[in-house]
Structures are given as structure tokens and as C-alpha cells.
Amino acid sequence: MEFVSQNWIPGNFKSVPDTGRTAHDVVQHGWTPITTTTSVLGVVFESGVALAADTLTSYGSMACFQNNPRILTVNQNIIVAAAGEYSDYQFIRDVVEEKVRTEKSLNDGISMKPKALHTWLSRVLYNRRTKMKPLWSTFLVAGVQNDVPFLGEIDKLGTAFVDDQIASGYGAYLALPLMRKAIDEKREKFNSKLTKDEAVDLLKKCMEVLYYRDARSHDKYQIGIITKDSVEVQNLALKPRWEVAKLVQGYE
């Protein structure tokens, strides 16, 4: 009886109920982020780039998975950080790692460069967007190419750009102004870029601000640092000062 009611003929593909159509008969794919992550930050300093991202993955509004790293070391030239749907980041991570393994197997001494990965990711995300199956993630690509630091962003629509300071998610509202202020002050006073230590201290300050203000952030986070000589990912934890809570007013 079940087969008859669903008009299903044995040997053929079974029809799936049409739950994704609107009044205008437009298919709505259910590609909605479920397990999500929050802001990623990136800043260029004089000899490289530093990225920061916490390790929390939220299931809806629940802080569910507290040890999910989001900074990927691609090779000696590139590190990548991601925000958004964590499974989409895992998909891209697996594809990128496969590309790296393929390059190594060629044994020709040529490795992927940050600009190449940035361009490739923009095409992948734009391609998925045009198929109405977007990868709900924002990626920051950082590296050093021809001794010049590189930092670029790609969002879920395939929109790509390059800058000296980038923040996604809530960080674009809270952390990016702090980063721009620090970079502008260093440029005006000393006509130079941030040093490595200054860039790391700036990211630590931004991650602390986000922890206080972003409900989806976490006190454990990573900072990835890449220069032409080394790649390093640090695991850090905040020491919050909740005495500042009494200064937050107007939400009673």
C-alpha cells in the first residue's frame, strides 16, 4: 500500500516529497548552516601575516564543540582560517590537503602559493553559489609570496579581496576598528608596519574584546603566524576580567 500511495514503481528511483517549493514554484535548497563558528581575524605585519580564530563550534545557540581548530597549515607558504559552517570548512580542508599531496607526489620542487589558493577558493565558492548550493563559510588566506606578505578573504558568494587587516562575522564590527586604529597609528608615527609581536598582541586584544561581546565566541583560541622562514600555530586561552561587566548598562 505504501508503494501505491507514493506512486513508486519497484526498480525506479523513489520520489522524494516536494517540500522545497514556494508559492512561486522556486526550489529552495535547505543549505542552512547548522554547526557554526564565529569571527576570524587577520593582520599583516612587516615580515608576515597573523591569523586568529577561537575553537568553539556552536550547534544553533548551544556552545557544543569546544575544541575544533579552524586554522589550517597548508604548506610552508600558506595558512588558512575559516568561519561559518564547520562541515563546509572540513570539506574544503580535505580538498586542499588532497591538492597538497598531489603536488608533493610530483616532486618538482614547486608548491602552491597564497595568491593561487586565494583565486582557486574564490572560483570554488562562486561555483557552488551559482549552483544554489553555497558553502556557508568565509575563508582567510594568509602567506608570503616573493617575500611579500599576502592576506585575502573569500566569502560564501565567491567575493574576494585583499587587505592589510581583515575580520569576518562579528569581528568586522568590533575587532576591525581596533585593528585599523593600531595600523594607522603605527603608520603615522613611525611610517612602518606592525612588528610580529605587535600584531600578535593586537590579535590577543581583539579576541578578548570579542569574548566579552560575542555570544558565540570562546576563551580558547589559536593564533597562526606565517613568515617567509616559518609557520607557527599557537594554542592560547584568555584570562577574562569580569569586573568590566558592571560597566555594561542599558540591557535590563
Residue 71, domain CATH: 3.60.20.10
Confidence of residue 61 (pLDDT cuts 50, 70, 90): confident
The pLDDT score that the predictor gives to residue 25 is 47
The letter for the amino acid at 83 is A
- For residues 191-219, give the mean pLDDT: 92
Specify if 23 maps to a domain.
no
Summarised one tens digit per residue, pLDDT across range 109-130 is 888 999 999 999 999 999 999 9
Domain that holds residue 121: 35-237
Specify if 13 maps to a domain.
no
The structure's pTM equals 0.83
The pLDDT score that the predictor gives to residue 163 is 95
Residue 43, strand partner residues: 50, 165
The percentage of the chain sitting over the pLDDT mark of 70, rounded to a whole number, equals 87
- For residues 54-71, give the mean pLDDT: 92
Q: How many domains does the chain have?
A: 1
Specify if 11 maps to a domain.
no
Specify if 243 maps to a domain.
no
**17: pLDDT strictly greater than 50:** no
- For residues 157-182, give the mean pLDDT: 94
**4: pLDDT strictly greater than 50:** no
Specify if 208 maps to a domain.
yes
Specify if 248 maps to a domain.
no
